[in-house]
Amino acid sequence: MEKVPDIKPIRLKEYNVKQSKYNMVGRIPIRQIVLGPSGCGKGIFIQNEILDIYKNMFTRIYIFSPSIEVDYQTWKPVKDYIEKEMGLKHTDEEPIYFG
C-alpha cells in the first residue's frame, strides 16, 4: 500500500494594506472584471469604486476603456481625481488612460 502524502497549506507572507471603509466590498488585493452590455452602468460602478469605495487606496490608477475620450460625464470626475487629488498627469512617458 502506498503512503498518503501529508497535504498542508503553503505558508505565505501576509501584508497589511489599507482597506475600504465598507466591510462588504472585496478586500485589497482584489482582482475584478466588470462585464455587461452598453448602458448597464459599468462606468458608473467603476467611477464609484475609484471616487468612494476604494478612494485614497492606490498610488496609481490606470484606465483601460474604449470610451475614455468619449464618455465625458463618467470619466471627467475620475480624471479630475487622478490629476488634481493624486497629482498624476497622462503623458507619453507614463500613460494613464488607454482607449
pLDDT digits (tens, 9 = 90+) for 60-78: 999 988 888 888 888 999 9
Question: In the chain, how many domains are there?
Answer: 1
Asked if residue 87 belongs to a domain, the reply is: yes
Asked if residue 22 belongs to a domain, the reply is: no
Residue 67 or 45, more confident = 45
In the predicted structure, residue 1 carries a pLDDT above the cut 80:
no
Asked if residue 35 belongs to a domain, the reply is: no
Confirm whether pTM is higher than 0.95.
Answer: no
Asked if residue 70 belongs to a domain, the reply is: yes
Distance, C-alpha 57 to centroid of its chain = 9
In the predicted structure, residue 38 carries a pLDDT above the cut 90:
no
Range of the domain at 63: 42-98
